[in-house]
């Protein structure tokens, strides 16, 4: 089906009380795995490409074109998103390629500079019909993001959104990037306060560190776009490692990368079903798979 914008998917998810799964891709196997999971579940999904991944590949164009092509060929609604961009020129390149949404990360800048840079990029993107996400409050390494002072203030978030004109806001509520365990403790009261103060969809970064029950409660409290990366990479890596251990003579990447792809498909499908429970039906049972905890 035609490419669907992230803004459209986020608006629908928010109106229906569901979470919009947004999963980072590093290579083609991630793209095909995530799209397969979306088709299996019938749930919309966002394919995210980070600036770090662009740096790894040495260029945005090849992976972005692959993601856009997969989205256009999918049987369900799929969007493509440029994630954690600190270079405005890279965001401009993504827009020129047809990527329908970008996340500008100016959180490391002083507040006034963050506002100015974000507003300028948002204005340029708005003229092209591109949905812009920004970040307020640090969602960084585990120690920093779990420090007591590292949280997004609701009043500041409302002012920032009004000053910049962004369409979505990533907020610091106690999660952290690159966590290998799922024991982060989001501040659900803060999420509710942010939801009441901010008129645009809220985005949860660092969601790999949040367990199933926490993800469901975060959506119920007001989070809409749920970003997950490290958790899927862990599943991918374990499957590849297990396959190579079981077949030490294997030299065909299609075999072990295929095992990683299948693992990502299975876990993405499980997470999409979890995130797409309507609020009225939200109830995470005690039977959460042990492997997911």
Is there a contact between 135 and 164 (Cβ–Cβ < 8 Å)?
no
The yes-or-no answer on residue 262 being catalytic is: no
Rounded to an integer, what distance in angstroms lies between the CA atom of residue 93 and that of residue 99? 9
Rounded to an integer, what distance in angstroms lies between the CA atom of residue 192 and that of residue 124? 31
Nearest of 182, 180, 193 to residue 216 by alpha carbon: 182
Indicate which residue of 83, 105, 167, 243 is catalytic.
83
Rounded to an integer, what distance in angstroms lies between the CA atom of residue 94 and that of residue 50? 11
DSSP-assigned letter for residue 199: S
Rounded to an integer, what distance in angstroms lies between the CA atom of residue 29 and that of residue 290? 25
The number of angstroms, rounded, from the C-alpha of 33 to the middle of its chain's C-alpha atoms is: 15
Residues labelled as active-site residues: 83
């Amino acid at each position: 089906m035609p490419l669907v914008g992230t803004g459209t998917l986020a608006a629908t998810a928010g109106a229906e009380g569901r979470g919009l799964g947004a999963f980072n891709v590093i290579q083609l196997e991630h793209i095909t795995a995530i799209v397969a999971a979306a088709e299996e579940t019938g749930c919309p999904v966002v394919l995210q490409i980070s600036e770090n991944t662009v740096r790894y590949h040495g260029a945005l164009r090849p992976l972005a074109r692959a993601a856009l092509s997969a989205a256009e060929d999918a049987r369900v609604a799929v969007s493509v998103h440029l994630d954690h961009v600190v270079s405005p020129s890279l965001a401009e390149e993504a827009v020129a390629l047809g990527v329908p949404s970008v996340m500008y990360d100016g959180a490391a800048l002083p507040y006034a500079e963050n506002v100015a840079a974000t507003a300028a990029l948002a204005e340029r993107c708005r003229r092209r019909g591109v949905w812009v996400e920004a970040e307020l409050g640090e969602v960084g390494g585990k120690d920093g993001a779990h420090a007591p002072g590292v949280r997004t203030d609701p009043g500041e978030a409302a002012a920032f959104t009004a000053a910049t004109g962004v369409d979505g806001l990533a907020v610091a509520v106690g999660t952290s990037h690159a966590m290998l365990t799922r024991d982060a403790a989001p501040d659900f009261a803060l999420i509710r306060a942010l939801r009441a103060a901010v008129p645009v969809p809220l985005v949860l970064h660092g969601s790999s560190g949040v367990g199933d029950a926490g993800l469901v409660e975060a959506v119920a409290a007001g989070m809409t776009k749920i970003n997950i990366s490290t958790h899927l990479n862990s599943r991918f890596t374990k499957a590849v490692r297990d396959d190579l251990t079981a077949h030490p003579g294997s030299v065909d990447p299609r075999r072990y990368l295929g095992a990683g792809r299948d693992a990502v498909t299975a876990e993405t499908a499980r997470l999409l079903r979890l995130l797409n429970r309507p609020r009225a039906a939200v109830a995470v049972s005690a039977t959460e798979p042990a492997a997911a905890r």
